[in-house]
Amino acid sequence: MTALLSVDRLHLGYHGRDVLRGLTVEVRRGEVVALMGPSGAGKTSALRAVAALVRFDGGRIVVDGFALEPGPVPPESRLKPLRRRVGLVFQGHALFAHLTALENVALALRHVLERRREEADDTARRLLDSLDVGVRAAALPSQLSGGEAQRVAIARALAPDPPLLLMDEPTAALDPARRGALGRTLRRVAAADGGRGLWIATHDVEFARACADRVAILADGMVVEAGSATEVLDRPGHPATRALLAEAASP
Amino acid sequence: MIPALTAALGVAAWLGAAQQPQATLQWGGDAEGGAPFVEADPGDPSQVRGFDVEVAETIARSLGRRARFVQVQWSSIDQSVERGDFAIGLSGVEDTPARRARHAVTIPYFEFREVLAVRPDDRGRWSDLAALRGRRVATLGATMAYDILVAARDSLGLVAASYDDDVHPYSDLVAGRVDAVLLDHIIAARARRRLGSEGLVIEPRAVAVGHYVGVLAKADSALRDSVDVALRAAMRDGTLERIFRRWQVWDASQAALFRRIAGSGPAVAVDTAERRAAAVSAYLPSLGRAALVTAVLSVLSMAVAVVVGGVVASGRVYGPAPVRVLMTVYVELIRGTPLLLQLFVLYYGLSGVVRLPAFLAAVLGLGLNYGAYEAEIYRGALEAVSHTQLEAARTLGFSEAQILRLVRGPQALRYALAPMTNDFVALLKDSSLVSVLTVVELTKQTAIYATNIGTWIVPGMLCAVVYLAMSLPLARLGRRLERRWRTA
């Protein structure tokens, strides 16, 4: 089975500093892959390159048959196929502040997919229900807790039904009990509708162990170690992995 | 927008002195100048009266037309007549070489004397300008008296103080801020009536002699010649004398002037002007109409400002480099120069290229000016919307236009609301500046009455109440909207 997301020798620099130097990762349908590394390792940059929010300098990104080449970000009109294939959940959720939870989720359905209002609202409500935030449909983002805002953001990213979902540090603002619930939710998202691919940037070892099928460790702009979550996290082979585990163990 | 436009058209039509088919003679004067030249009629403040009004009517009659008054700021009469706002300016307009060089000027119809007014204690102390070395002497700017004082400043070393109106020179004389006032004898007599002989006395000796004339556009010399014929006839048949006697400005020097100009002695006829009490209530309808002009003008100008501001702000935020530069230049040019200057340039400066009606020029001038300020507010508001929300919208597949319309614009509007309300209130008051374009709005109308009835107290308070009645509800509406949107 071919990969849903294939990142091949990705190079990306900011202000003359190399952030990514040949990152290679694959994500298949139904699979949750954690991209792990300390803060500043370039996890967010990798996600943003796949979502075509930043330029990259070398390598190749293919999402479900749609290829991104090195160079400046293409105009939005050329990115329409990519936008249908990739959803991104931002670390700070980035919900539209002036719209209710329901409107946040329904907005793209109405104006990008051009669904009728009732249909869009129905779909949005079902999504919010499936993520256990249906009761908060009428709330504004400023009235939501961190966990609620995150689930609304996930619902919004899933609304156009993209096969690939990217998430940036999803556990950053969650207490431990909520992390467990989020892990179960994401497993369900990956399994639903014939299988979705999830690529999650995180430095949360416990979360990755509980939720990810595979783990890729990012250090010095490259994947230094990859494999199943248990393989990598229980028997770390690379010093960067051990450092990550040591940091997680210390309070 | 539609009702506002309809109202504006109504106001424009009602203001629209411009397009009356022939049969009328449009003449310009400044009712703020007051009696006996031109003043609002206390019995019916929508009408004007005064000897200049009657001179205009006499001229119109003999041309077979009906006189129609156009309000214009006294200092702008020359520019206004040149750009065609009216055919002839008559409002104590002085005969000067400069005016003769630039415009078509009628024969003199009245002779005035420049006289010195002093405090009673100084009576006889300074009988001529030479004695006033080192003293402060006040006058009205842009007059022959002012030119005399400027010349005397250089040759005699007195200090010339120029005022924008003819009331404050005299009140400052009484208050001791200046030592003498040099102005024509009609204005001086009016001031003495107002302030009493214990306030000031008028030195009998004339410092200079000058004449009132009508001023027409340079190209209008044919009409000027017809006016001259009419004036000569009115001198000969006694019409002018009757007018001047009615307004109590007739004297021997007029008879001499008429003999010189028209070559005949005048007949005799006397009747006295009856002044009805200037009841404040008589002014209310005109104040109400002026308030409507201010309101409609402000609403339309703000609409223009919002559109201009939106376009300029979008250009600065989204446009390519040349557009950004152009928009920045526009904003800095407008913000960096006085609104008054912009209005003058738009109305008088461009009149050779495009002749805008006064009301339209006022709306455009205010709108373009405030548009620059709106643009800065909108730009700030657009940039205040968090960048990650815009990125989130892009990952969802929205086009840039959709992001502006659905995500960025609505949130920017909330940020912009408070400063916009603020600007609208400021515009309401700045709209008073357009009186320099011959638009009579609330402040101008108030000034006209205040000068006519000789006190600012009641008109000033009335005017303030009307402004507050318009601005306070606006501020309240702004606060209500803000509160409603604060949750977002």
What is the total residue count of chain B? 488
pLDDT band at A28 (very low <50, low <70, confident <90, very high): very high
Element holding A225 (H helix, E strand): strand A222-228
Give A10's strand partners: A23
Most confident of B274-283, B434-443, B461-470: B461-470
Chain B contact for A1 (CB, 8 A cutoff): no
Residues of A in contact with B396 (CB under 8 A): 83, 87, 107-108, 112, 156-157, 159-160
Q: Which of A90, A140, A160 sits opposite B392 (nearest CB)?
A: A90
For the segment B344-355, the average pLDDT, to the nearest whole number, is 82
pLDDT band at B265 (very low <50, low <70, confident <90, very high): very low
Q: What is the pLDDT of residue B390?
A: 96
When the pLDDT of each residue in chain A is averaged and rounded to a whole number, the result is 91
Nearest chain B residue to A159 by CA distance is: B396
For the segment B243-254, the average pLDDT, to the nearest whole number, is 91
Nearest chain B residue to A158 by CA distance is: B396
Specify whether the CB–CB gap between A200 and A43 falls below 8 A: no
Distance (Å, whole) CA B216 – CA B227: 10
- Residue that wins the pLDDT comparison between B117 and A38: B117
pLDDT band at B263 (very low <50, low <70, confident <90, very high): low
For the segment B215-224, the average pLDDT, to the nearest whole number, is 89
Specify whether the CB–CB gap between A44 and A24 falls below 8 A: no
Contact between A112 and B395 using a beta-carbon 8 Å cutoff: no
Question: Which has the minimum average pLDDT: A130-144, B40-54, B188-202, B279-293?
Answer: B279-293
Tally of helices (H runs) and strands (E runs) in chain A: 9, 10
**Helix, strand, coil shares, percent, chain A, to 5:** 40, 25, 35
Distance (Å, whole) CA B244 – CA B230: 16
Specify whether the CB–CB gap between B301 and B367 falls below 8 A: yes
Q: Is A224 helix (H, G, I), strand (E, B) or coil?
A: strand
pLDDT band at B435 (very low <50, low <70, confident <90, very high): confident
Q: Which of A98, A142, A160 sits opposite B396 (nearest CB)?
A: A160
List the structure tokens of B309. 């501001």
List the structure tokens of B134. 């080192």
Chain B contact for A80 (CB, 8 A cutoff): yes
Check whether B21 has a pLDDT greater than 60: no
How is residue B251 annotated by DSSP? -
Check whether B1 has a pLDDT greater than 50: no
Most confident of A161-175, B33-47, B344-358: A161-175
Q: What is the pLDDT of residues B151-191, one digit of tens each?
A: 888 788 888 888 878 888 898 898 888 899 999 999 999 89
When the pLDDT of each residue in chain B is averaged and rounded to a whole number, the result is 85
Q: Considering Cα of B393, then B395, then B397, then B400, what sign does the dihedral take? A: positive
Distance (Å, whole) CA B223 – CA B201: 41
For the segment B190-194, the average pLDDT, to the nearest whole number, is 88
Distance (Å, whole) CA A229 – CA A209: 6
Residues of A in contact with B391 (CB under 8 A): 53, 90, 94
Chain B contact for A199 (CB, 8 A cutoff): no
pLDDT band at B268 (very low <50, low <70, confident <90, very high): very low
CA distance B82 to chain A (A): 55
At A150, which amino acid appears? Q
Contact between B395 and A51 using a beta-carbon 8 Å cutoff: yes
Q: What is the pLDDT of residue B144?
A: 87
For residue B374, which of B327, B341, B342 has the smallest C-alpha distance? B327
Distance (Å, whole) CA B455 – CA B28: 24
For residue A27, which of A67, A74, A61 has the smallest C-alpha distance? A61
Nearest chain B residue to A83 by CA distance is: B397
Nearest chain A residue to B402 by CA distance is: A111
Q: Which of B391, B394, B395 sits opposite A87 (nearest CB)?
A: B395
Residues of B in contact with A98 (CB under 8 A): 410-411, 414, 485, 488
For the segment B199-205, the average pLDDT, to the nearest whole number, is 89
Distance (Å, whole) CA A104 – CA A88: 14
Nearest chain A residue to B486 by CA distance is: A98
Phi, psi of A196 (to 5 degrees): -115, 155
List the structure tokens of B211. 């004449």
Q: What is the pLDDT of residues A198-234, one digit of tens each?
A: 999 998 888 998 889 999 999 988 899 999 988 888 8
How is residue A74 annotated by DSSP? P
Q: What is the pLDDT of residue B141?
A: 78
Residues of A in contact with B386 (CB under 8 A): 94, 97
Question: Which has the minimum average pLDDT: A146-150, B31-35, B171-175, B215-219?
Answer: B31-35
Distance (Å, whole) CA A216 – CA A31: 13
Give B67's strand partners: B25
Check whether B303 has a pLDDT greater than 90: yes
Q: Which of A97, A143, A160 sits opposite B397 (nearest CB)?
A: A160
Q: What is the pLDDT of residue A251?
A: 60
Q: Which of B395, B407, B487 sits opposite A96 (nearest CB)?
A: B407
Return the biggest CA–CA distance within chain A. Answer: 54
Q: What is the pLDDT of residues A151-172, one digit of tens each?
A: 999 999 999 999 999 999 998 8
Q: Residue A113: which residues within 8 A CB-CB, separation 6 or more?
A: A120, A160
Contact between A157 and B407 using a beta-carbon 8 Å cutoff: no
Q: Is B146 helix (H, G, I), strand (E, B) or coil?
A: helix
CA distance B407 to chain A (A): 7
Check whether B352 has a pLDDT greater than 80: no
Q: What is the pLDDT of residue B16?
A: 43
For residue A157, which of A204, A206, A91, A205 has the smallest C-alpha distance? A91
Contact between A88 and B410 using a beta-carbon 8 Å cutoff: no
Nearest chain B residue to A155 by CA distance is: B396
Q: What is the pLDDT of residue B308?
A: 96
Residues of A in contact with B392 (CB under 8 A): 88, 90, 94-96, 156
Chain B contact for A173 (CB, 8 A cutoff): no
Question: Half-sphere exposure of B144 toward its Cβ, with a 13 Å CA cutoff?
Answer: 22
Chain B contact for A157 (CB, 8 A cutoff): yes
For the segment B329-358, the average pLDDT, to the nearest whole number, is 88
Check whether B218 has a pLDDT greater than 60: yes
Residues of B in contact with A96 (CB under 8 A): 389, 392-393, 407, 411
Q: What is the pLDDT of residue B245?
A: 92
For the segment B130-146, the average pLDDT, to the nearest whole number, is 86
Q: Which of B389, B397, B398 sits opposite A97 (nearest CB)?
A: B389
Q: What is the pLDDT of residue B398?
A: 94
Q: What is the pLDDT of residue B438?
A: 72
Q: Which of A80, A88, A107 sits opposite B395 (nearest CB)?
A: A88
CA distance A239 to chain B (A): 34
Q: What is the pLDDT of residue B453?
A: 67
At B51, which amino acid appears? F
Specify whether the CB–CB gap between B170 and B195 falls below 8 A: yes
For the segment B195-212, the average pLDDT, to the nearest whole number, is 89
Check whether B44 has a pLDDT greater than 90: no
Instruction: For chains A and B, count residue pairs whose Cβ atoms are closer than 8 Å.
Output: 68
Chain B contact for A117 (CB, 8 A cutoff): no
Interface test with A, best of B394, B395, B414, B485 (most A CBs within 10 A): B395
Q: What is the pLDDT of residue B276?
A: 35
Q: What is the pLDDT of residues B226-235, one digit of tens each?
A: 899 899 999 9
Check whether B14 has a pLDDT greater than 80: no
Check whether A134 has a pLDDT greater than 80: yes
Residues of A in contact with B402 (CB under 8 A): 111-112
Q: What is the pLDDT of residue A99?
A: 94
pLDDT band at A1 (very low <50, low <70, confident <90, very high): low
Check whether B11 has a pLDDT greater than 90: no
CA distance B303 to chain A (A): 25
Contact between A88 and B487 using a beta-carbon 8 Å cutoff: no
Interface test with B, best of A78, A88, A96 (most B CBs within 10 A): A96
In chain B, what is the straight-line distance between the N-terminal and C-terminal CA atoms, in Å?
28
